[in-house]
Amino acid sequence: MRIAVAGATGNIGSRTVAVLERDGHDVVRISRSLGVDLLTGEGLDKALDGVEAVIDAISFEKPRRDEAVAYAGTTTRNLLTAEERAGVRHHVLLSIIGIHRVEGNAHYAGKREQERLVSEGPVPWTIVPVAQFHDFAEMVAGWTEKDGVATIAPLLVQPIAPDDVAEVLAEIAPGEPRGRYADVAGPETQDLVDMARRTLAAHGRTVKLVPTWSGIFGPAMAGEVLLPGEGARIAPTTFDEWLAAQH
């Protein structure tokens, strides 16, 4: 099957491309660095020629809510409009568990806009809400690290290996649209502070971590807000297994 991946050079997109190609699919890579711009629509019609399914795995980091919603909205509208013209029969959106339970987070606002447009849009769809990735904790610590000190929220998460996310997306895309898919998470709950400490140690780095709810992740994300709901699909790779493979 001819399948396009938006965000094809990113963390999840590149892994998904590899899995799809392993499984024998004809993969079209959609990325600004490859000449296809979702913000302007440049190159989209040519890229989607003959494509039957599209996986949207784009990432965006916009600090303000209006910027995140505008970016997510523009790219999603352009993608869906071009898909309709091309006769694409399945749009798969990578989303995040818990975004409808948390206000005040700019990225989550952008993801909600993506979900809204996809669910109300012209192309049959599947939305796949996944947990935070195993490498998320180290990334979050990196956002605030200065002089060997970083603040980080003690989020309770059930993290998933990026490779497992790619496997799920590559499995779903060739099939029939499923609407809202089950939450997809890893096998064990973890504390983000502990995850960051252990990941940094595995990479030979010493950073003093200061737990706080006063950063970009506030008290609204405390407790079980980010954990998967009932009937979740549990991916196989544990955080310990992923961490061991980082050496």
Cβ atoms within 10 Å, residue 147: 7
Share of the chain above pLDDT 70, in %: 100
Could you tell me the CATH number of the domain that includes residue 10? Answer: 3.40.50.720
Measured distance CA(134)–CA(27) in Å, rounded? 26
Domain that holds residue 13: 2-244
At 62, the pLDDT band (50, 70, 90 cuts) reads confident
Segment 145-201, tens digit of pLDDT: 999 999 999 999 999 999 999 999 999 999 999 999 999 999 999 999 999 999 999
Among 80-84, 109-113, 213-217, 232-236, the range scoring the smallest mean pLDDT is: 213-217
Whether the predicted model's global pTM rises above the 0.75 cut: yes
Total domains in the chain come to 1
User: Is the CB of residue 16 less than 8 Å from the CB of residue 40?
Assistant: no
Length, in residues, of the chain: 247
